[in-house]
C-alpha cells in the first residue's frame, strides 16, 4: 500500500530520531523540516497506519523518574519500514532524474 505524505514524513522521522522517536519528537521533527504544523491527531492516525502495515513497531519507555512520571510510546523502524523508505527514495530519485533545476530553466 503506498504511503501518503504524512506517513512518509513520520517514517523518515522515526528513522532519523532513532530511540528518541515518540509522537512529540516526531511532531517537532516534521515541523522543523517542513514548516508544517501537523495536528497531533493526524500524526497519531498516521503512526497507527504505519504500525498496522508493520513499518514501525511501538515500545514503551520506562516511566519518567519524577512523581507521576509516565512512560512514552516510542517507535522503531522495522525491516519492512526500512524497505519502504528505500523504495520511496528510489522512486523520488527516478522521478527527479533528468529534471532541470529552476536555475537551469532561467538560462
- What's 107's DSSP letter? -
Helix, strand, or coil (residue 1): coil
Residue 107 belongs to a domain = no
Residue 26 · residue 8 · CB < 8 Å: no
Q: Specify the pTM.
A: 0.84
**Contact (CB, 8 A) for 78 and 4:** no
Q: Kindly state whether residue 106 falls inside one of the protein's structural domains.
A: no
DSSP label of 28: H
What does the pLDDT look like over 29-41, one tens digit per residue?
A: 999 999 989 999 9
- Tally the domains of the chain: 1
Q: What confidence tens digit (pLDDT) does each residue in 51-97 have?
A: 999 999 999 987 777 776 688 899 999 999 999 999 999 999 999 89
pLDDT for the residue 99: 83
Confidence category of residue 98, pLDDT binned at 50, 70, 90: confident
Closest CA to 46 of 15, 20, 11, 12: 11
Q: What is the pLDDT of residue 62?
A: 75
Quote the CA–CA distance of 13 and 66 in Å, as a whole number: 27
Question: Does residue 105 lie within any of the structural domains?
Answer: no
CATH number (domain holding residue 82): 1.10.10.10
> Is residue 57 domain-resident?
yes
What residue numbers bound the domain in which 73 lies?
A: 5-62+69-95
Amino acid at each position: 500500500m503506498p504511503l501518503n505524505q504524512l506517513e512518509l514524513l513520520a517514517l523518515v522521522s522515526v528513522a532519523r530520531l532513532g530511540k528518541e522517536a515518540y509522537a512529540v519528537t516526531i511532531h517537532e521533527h516534521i515541523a522543523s523540516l517542513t514548516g508544517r504544523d501537523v495536528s497531533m491527531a493526524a500524526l497519531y492516525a498516521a503512526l497507527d497506519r504505519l504500525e498496522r502495515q508493520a513499518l514501525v513497531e511501538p515500545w514503551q519507555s520506562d516511566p519518567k523518574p519524577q512523581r507521576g512520571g509516565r512512560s512514552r510510546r516510542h517507535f522503531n523502524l522495522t525491516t519492512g519500514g526500512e524497505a519502504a523508505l528505500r523504495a520511496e527514495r528510489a522512486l523520488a530519485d527516478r522521478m527527479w532524474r533528468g529534471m532541470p533545476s529552476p536555475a537551469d530553466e532561467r538560462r
